């Protein structure tokens, strides 16, 4: 298998990026009259400052290359051919070195984020079914877990497709074979013949990972025509480095496309989602932009080349071994936090190969949630609060939260005991459950 991803020194990175920028159009040296593009406005942005000579990403921002189109297909706008080549290499790193695809057997581009990449996938598959099967949009359905990102609902709305959500277990965040089959049968009874399946590679709230075999086994059992997209917006730069035997790679023939988000775990600028798809499919998103050389197969159209360069620089600076080490450290921090919560008897959910921990809301009062920036699953009626172990989330910071939770839980337990002793507990039966008043802004049962 061809390896593209190698670690590079800062000097090597500078040389490669500046060489690419030099191959792009130079508005000062050439009379470029027909291109609706230019550098950033020099009345606002200083292009001559000395630090730009040592800052490849800032120089790319200043020169403002347009990365319209999909550069893995061959032809692209020649004005920015230098930095287009860097994006093409980045797509190869993600598809081959991270997701184990065969060399140059995938297309892709740097999108504005995971939302766009998910919509791009569903847009392609809708058009694929309409072109290849003469399918009406009422015959096409999206099927995903109820924990899937809300971008899937956006795609359904924009593309006039019905969406069917598979219920998950409240504790394990997993779905059963039976629930998958019942969801598919319901869709088929509604007249759906063609299925766009979204499989989660770490959900946004819980970090849960869908069991792809449960999906594919049920689809095959019910003889469903399907295309399967993996939403790895959060987990794409994390999970592959934990599970070397993962079935969520391009080595799995059931998978056609992936979403990754570099502006999450890769710590790149916002606006660096990544869309990857097997060769032969992105053509279904061709909207015939005749004035763009190579045409455009992307949802977004014009986009920042500097963002693609930023992701490439981050991966090149770390290298594959450095990235493994980074994820290993985050995994150990997450293990430490889970061990601490378990010792306190705190109920939480965590996939063992994820760096997201969702704590039951009854253990977190509003003051703690606000103080530590914990994110609820629902701001109006929180049932869970999540912690995401990012690079800046050290064990020292986690320990402060553990101490506050410990204090709150101990106080809560003592208060309940005292109320029981004095027979002051206000007990109310509601839907067959006992609720003992409101303590520290939460309900304790």
User: Quick check: 213 and 247 in contact, CB under 8 A?
Assistant: yes
In this model, does residue 245 exceed pLDDT 60? yes
Residue 334's pLDDT band, with cuts at 50, 70 and 90, is very high
Q: How far is the C-alpha of 277 from the C-alpha of 282, rounded, in Å?
A: 7
Residue 443's pLDDT band, with cuts at 50, 70 and 90, is very low
pLDDT given at position 49 = 85
258, 292, 319 - which closes a domain = 319
**Percent over 70 (pLDDT), the chain:** 91
Whether 191 and 146 share a structural domain: yes
pLDDT given at position 298 = 95
Q: Considering only CA atoms, which of 76, 9, 3, 51 is closest in space to residue 295?
A: 76
Q: How far is the C-alpha of 127 from the C-alpha of 131, rounded, in Å?
A: 6
pLDDT given at position 295 = 82
Longest dimension (CA), the chain: 88
Whether 242 and 382 share a structural domain: no
Query: In which domain, by residue range, is 388 found?
Result: 355-443
Please state the domain count of the chain: 2
Across 35-44, 86-95, 201-210, 258-267, least confident range:
35-44
Domain assignment present for 403: yes
Question: 138-160 in b/e burial notation, b at 16+ Cβ within 10 A?
Answer: ebbbbbbbebbbebbeebbeebe
273, 296, 319 - which closes a domain = 319
- Digit-coded pLDDT (tens) for 59-86: 999 999 999 999 999 888 899 999 999 9
Strand partners, 144: 165
In this model, does residue 426 exceed pLDDT 50? no
Whether 102 and 194 share a structural domain: yes
Whether 260 and 370 share a structural domain: no
User: Quick check: 362 and 442 in contact, CB under 8 A?
Assistant: yes
Whether 128 and 270 share a structural domain: yes
Q: Considering only CA atoms, which of 393, 373, 384 is closest in space to residue 347?
A: 384
Whether 89 and 154 share a structural domain: yes
Residues in the chain, overall count: 445
Domain assignment present for 81: yes
- Digit-coded pLDDT (tens) for 310-331: 999 999 999 999 999 999 999 9
Residue 411's pLDDT band, with cuts at 50, 70 and 90, is low
Domain assignment present for 1: no
In this model, does residue 294 exceed pLDDT 80? no
Whether 222 and 293 share a structural domain: yes
Domain assignment present for 131: yes
Handedness of CA 74, 76, 79, 81 (dihedral sign): negative
The CATH number assigned to the domain holding 140 equals 3.40.640.10
Across 126-135, 222-231, 246-255, 285-294, least confident range:
285-294
Domain assignment present for 329: no
Q: How far is the C-alpha of 212 from the C-alpha of 128, rounded, in Å?
A: 22
pLDDT given at position 77 = 86
In the block, which residue shows the tokens 């059931």? 254
Whether 148 and 234 share a structural domain: yes
Which CA distances in Å does 290 have to 78, 286, 294, 409?
15, 11, 8, 64
Tokens representing 285 are: 């998103």
Q: How far is CA 9 from the centre of its chain?
A: 28
Across 157-166, 218-227, 264-273, 287-296, least confident range:
287-296
Whether 62 and 206 share a structural domain: yes
330 CB-side CA count, 13 A:
26
Domain assignment present for 326: no
Whether 217 and 291 share a structural domain: yes
In this model, does residue 42 exceed pLDDT 50? yes
Domain assignment present for 115: yes
Long-range contacts of 164-168 (CB under 8 A, 24+ apart): 164/192, 168/208
Q: How far is the C-alpha of 445 from the C-alpha of 442, rounded, in Å?
A: 10
Q: How far is the C-alpha of 104 from the C-alpha of 72, rounded, in Å?
A: 8
pLDDT given at position 110 = 98
What are the two backbone dihedrals, phi and then psi, of residue 97, each rounded to the nearest 5 degrees?
-75, -35
- Digit-coded pLDDT (tens) for 157-173: 999 999 999 999 999 99
Which CA distances in Å does 199 have to 188, 293, 354?
19, 34, 16
User: Quick check: 43 and 113 in contact, CB under 8 A?
Assistant: no
pLDDT given at position 430 = 37
Domain assignment present for 261: yes
Whether 178 and 249 share a structural domain: yes
Whether 183 and 288 share a structural domain: yes
Q: How far is the C-alpha of 277 from the C-alpha of 391, rounded, in Å?
A: 29
Residue 227's pLDDT band, with cuts at 50, 70 and 90, is very high
Question: 42-59 in b/e burial notation, b at 16+ Cβ within 10 A?
Answer: eeeeeeeeeebeeebbeb
Mean pLDDT for all residues in the chain: 91
Strand partners, 274: 110, 260
């Amino acid at each position: 298998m061809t390896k593209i991803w190698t670690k590079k020194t800062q000097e090597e990175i500078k040389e490669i990026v500046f060489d690419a920028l030099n191959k792009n159009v130079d508005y000062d040296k050439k009379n470029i009259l027909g291109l609706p593009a230019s550098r950033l406005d020099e009345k606002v942005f200083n292009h001559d400052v000395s630090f730009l000579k040592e800052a490849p990403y800032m120089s790319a921002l200043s020169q403002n290359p347009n990365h319209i189109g999909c550069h893995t297909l061959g032809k692209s706008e020649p004005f920015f051919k230098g930095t287009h080549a860097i994006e093409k290499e980045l797509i190869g790193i993600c598809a081959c070195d991270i997701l184990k695809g065969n060399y140059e057997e995938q297309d892709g581009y740097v999108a504005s984020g995971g939302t766009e990449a998910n919509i791009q996938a569903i847009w392609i598959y809708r058009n694929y079914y309409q072109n290849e099967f003469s399918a009406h949009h009422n015959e096409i359905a999206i099927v995903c877990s109820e924990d899937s990102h809300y971008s899937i609902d956006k795609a359904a709305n924009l593309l006039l497709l019905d969406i069917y959500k598979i219920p998950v277990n409240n504790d394990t965040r997993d779905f059963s074979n039976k629930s998958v089959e019942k969801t598919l049968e319901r869709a088929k009874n509604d007249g759906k013949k063609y299925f766009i399946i979204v499989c989660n590679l770490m959900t946004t709230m819980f970090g849960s990972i869908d069991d792809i075999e449960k999906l594919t086994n049920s689809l095959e059992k019910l003889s469903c025509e399907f295309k399967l997209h993996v939403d790895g917006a959060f987990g794409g730069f994390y999970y592959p480095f934990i599970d070397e035997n993962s079935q969520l790679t391009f080595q799995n023939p059931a998978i056609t496309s992936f979403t990754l988000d570099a502006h999450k775990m890769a710590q790149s600028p916002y606006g660096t989602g990544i869309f990857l798809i097997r060769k032969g499919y992105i053509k279904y998103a061709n909207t015939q932009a005749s004035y763009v050389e190579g045409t455009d197969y992307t949802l977004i159209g014009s986009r920042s080349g500097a963002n693609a360069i930023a992701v490439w620089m981050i991966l090149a600076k770390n290298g594959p071994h450095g990235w493994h080490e980074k994820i290993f450290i985050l995994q150990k921090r997450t293990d430490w936090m889970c061990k601490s919560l378990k010792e306190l008897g705190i109920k939480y959910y965590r996939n063992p190969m994820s760096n997201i921990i969702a704590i039951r809301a009854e253990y977190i009062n509003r003051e703690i949630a606000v103080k530590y920036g914990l994110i609820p699953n629902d701001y109006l009626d929180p049932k869970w609060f999540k912690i995401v172990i990012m690079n800046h989330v050290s064990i020292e910071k986690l320990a402060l939260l553990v101490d506050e939770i410990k204090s709150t839980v101990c106080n809560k337990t003592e208060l309940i005991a005292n109320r029981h002793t004095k027979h002051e507990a206000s007990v109310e039966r509601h839907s067959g459950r006992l609720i003992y008043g409101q303590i520290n802004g939460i309900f304790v049962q």
